Chain A
Amino acid sequence: MSAFNYRGAWAIYTRELMRAMRTAFQSILAPVLTTSLYFIVFGAAIGGRMDAVDGVAYGAFIVPGLLLLTLLSESTSNASFGIYMPRFTGTIYELLSAPVGTAETLAGFVGAAATKSLVLAAIILVTATFFVDYRIEYPVLAALYIMLVASAFSLFGFILGIWADNFEKLGIVPMLILMPLTFLGGTFYSIDMLPDPWRAVAFANPIVYLVNGLRWTFYGSSDVDIWLSFGLTLGFMLACVTAIAIIFRTGWRLRT
């Protein structure tokens, strides 16, 4: 057997995607519907009465932030659920006894979670065109950035799925940490609109850099340096990969 069991990775990847198809309403339709409601309320209804932000119509301004909101929550929950369920049901035995290591497991679980998020992102961007008029100034960079964020937070979700030992813990981080930080991270406003000291406090929120990074690829302007956003996201991804490698080496919460 080669150093990388690509058939094993492919088996995990395709099964995870099939699982998403089995629960298409929860996996795809529900987030698309939720995001569409945001577009209707904040974009089409309220957005028409709001001033432009940095020369961008308000409805269009919130598109990157809403996209990121979905990317973060879906990547995290898809990956965490993907690895948590085998642990919960006991089917993890098959994975642990198979000739698959960290690389194959990540390619399968995280790859599938990131793929689902990317499909969702594409659907949301298409859906947004029905409600607001937006543009993407740097489409290649935007695509790269979306892939980077989807991968990073799928890795993060994978760690959560291994850490969690009950369903409550599985939901705590996405609902009580990621969601508030994203709302407060400039999804619906520019950080420049905040008065001091809240403006300074906002920069302590890591999600600010993600939202602004993606917004820059859309409109060419943001509250923070684009390369700082890329660097932080890449650094976060590498930290997650390192943590997962340590988890597999030590068998933490996987092997008794």
Chain B
Amino acid sequence: MSDVILDIRNLTKIYPGGLKALDDVDLQIRRGEIFALLGPNGAGKTTLIGAVCGLVRPGSGTIHAFGHDMLRDWRKVRGRVGLVPQELSTDMFEPVGRAVAFSRGLFGRPADPARIEEVLRSLSLWDKRDEQIRNLSGGMKRRVLIAKALAHDPDLLFLDEPTAGVDVELRRDMWRQIGVLRGQGVTVILTTHYIEEAEEMADRVGIIRGGRLLMVDDKQAMMARLGRTEAHITLCDPPAVLPPEITRYPVRLEGNDLCYRGGDGSGLGKSEVADLTKALIASGIDYTAIEIRESSLEDIFVDLLEKQA
């Protein structure tokens, strides 16, 4: 596939002590997409990122990025990859502007004050350029890490829990920033605990647990395949036995509530609930309220992990 920017095959990593952090992982990332890697703590998300970025030595398997073998052509690959780590790891006594300029130089790019200014402005850090990083708030420090990762204009950017510990406003701001990166053609791989983040931004989602990739799919396809509609219809006078026009739908009577659980996440559930309400009226069963909700990516995620447990 020509649009595959990162190709991981049979990647395995066993740490000293026997912990299998990655277990025969296969993953292909397409150029320009935003890919969200979801998984509980210790699932292997950071190890996978570390293996691609050169922080972790894989036990077996291959990694190709931009058509180059990661082990053999590591210089060519690393120069085009950016990493925002999970921890706020930076020299806290260094001024913001100098820290970002350092990162650009480290990755072999020529000094470019205009580009550094552009990056700092895009992350609302320009006013803080002469400030020591230790004087910034947690959210601003995280922005500095993003600025450092963007300083050398990477084609592939890893964001390991980019919005952990930042407030809602800043999180939305970062989502916007990631949207801008997508517009610039940067491929983004992010790990997150906030499922809504993946739901908001990702084109594709991967779910990892115990070092194994359980599922990789387009977000919409995953929602359609595994998503459900849940409706609670409060009946005025629930009948002792539901008529067959009603029981042909996936419903259950719970006290005064008629509960519907069905559909496929693509809208089928909503139309079935509409048909169900018509059938209720036609059968002479009146109702006073309807509460309807679509299952979120979080429901799917939790459901999948529970099934695998």
Encoded as 1 (CB less than 8 Å from any A CB) or 0, chain B from 101 to 115 comes to: 011111111100000
Nearest chain A CB to B111 CB, angstrom units: 8
Q: Given that A1-B79, A97-B78, A99-B79 are known contacts, is A15 also in contact with B102, CB under 8 Å in the complex?
A: yes
Within 8 A of A (CB), among B44-89: 50, 53-57, 74-76, 78-79, 81, 83, 85, 87, 89
Cβ-defined contact, B108 with A7, below 8 A = yes
Mark the stretch among A86-94, A110-118, A131-139, A182-190 that contacts chain B: A86-94
**B148 at interface by CB-CB < 8 Å:** yes
Q: Are A255 and B57 in contact (CB under 8 A)?
A: yes
Quick check: B109 and A7 within 8 Å, CB to CB? Answer: yes
CB-CB contacts of A1-35 with B at 8 A, as 1s and 0s?
Answer: 10101011011100100110010000000000000
Flag whether A101 is at the interface (Cβ < 8 A).
yes
Chain B min CB distance to A16 (Å) = 11
* CB of A175 to closest CB in B, whole Å: 25
* Interface size of A as a range: 20 to 34
A251: CB under 8 A from chain B? yes
A1-B79, A5-B108, A256-B15 known; A97 vs B55 contact (CB < 8 Å): yes
Contact B85 A90, beta carbon cutoff 8 Å: yes
| Whole-angstrom CA separation of A99 from B53 in the bound complex | 10
In the complex the two chains form, is B91's CB within 8 Å of A89's CB?
Answer: yes
B89, A90: Cβ atoms closer than 8 Å: yes
Tell yes or no: A100 within 8 A of B by CB.
Answer: yes
Q: Please report whether the interface of chain A is mostly helix, strand, loop or mixed according to DSSP.
A: helix
Contact of B106 among A19, A95, A101 (CB under 8 A): A95
Is B93 an interface residue, CB under 8 A from the partner? yes
Check: A126 CB closer than 8 A to any chain B CB.
no
**Alpha-carbon distance between A117 and B84 when the two chains are bound, in angstroms:** 34
Q: Does B90 contact A (CB under 8 A)?
A: yes
Residues of A within 8 A of B104 (CB): 11
Check: A98 CB closer than 8 A to any chain B CB. Answer: yes
Do the beta carbons of B81 and A255 come within 8 Å of each other?
no
A-B contact count (CB 8 A): 80
Q: Which residues of B contact A93 (CB under 8 A)?
A: 53, 55, 83, 85, 89
Determine how close the nearest CB of chain B comes to the CB of A191; give it in whole angstroms: 45
Alpha-carbon distance between A230 and B56 when the two chains are bound, in angstroms: 40
Q: Which residue of A lies closest to B16 (CB)?
A: A256
Whether A256 lies near B56 (C-beta < 8 A) is: yes
Point out which of A10, A91, A99 has the most chain B C-beta atoms below 10 A from its C-beta: A99
Please name all residues of chain B whose beta carbon is closer than 8 Å to the beta carbon of A255 when the two chains form the complex. 54-57
The smallest beta-carbon distance between B98 and chain A, in angstroms, is: 8
Given contact pairs A15-B102, A90-B89, A91-B90, A97 touches B108 in the complex (Cβ within 8 A):
no
Tell me which residues across on chain B come within 8 A of A97, comparing CB atoms: 53-55, 78, 81, 83
On whether the beta carbons of B89 and A101 are closer than 8 Å, the reply is no
Q: Does A50 contact B (CB under 8 A)?
A: no
Within 8 A of A (CB), among B5-46: 15
Picked from B15, B78, B87, B93, the residue with its CB within 8 Å of the CB of A22 is B93
Q: Which chain A residues lie closer than 8 Å to B87 at the CB level?
A: 90
Contact A101 B57 (CB under 8 A): no
Partner of A94, one of B76, B93, B106, B108: B106
Q: Verify A7–B110 contact, CB threshold 8 A.
A: yes
- Give the distance to chain B from A26, nearest Cβ to Cβ, in Å: 13
Known: A7-B110, A256-B56. A99 touches B89 (CB 8 A): no
Task: List the 6 closest pairs (A to B, CB-CB), nearest first.
Answer: A11-B105, A90-B89, A97-B53, A99-B78, A99-B75, A99-B79
Q: List 14 A-B contacts (CB under 8 A).
A: A1-B75, A7-B108, A8-B106, A8-B108, A10-B105, A11-B102, A11-B106, A15-B94, A22-B93, A89-B90, A89-B91, A93-B55, A94-B106, A98-B107
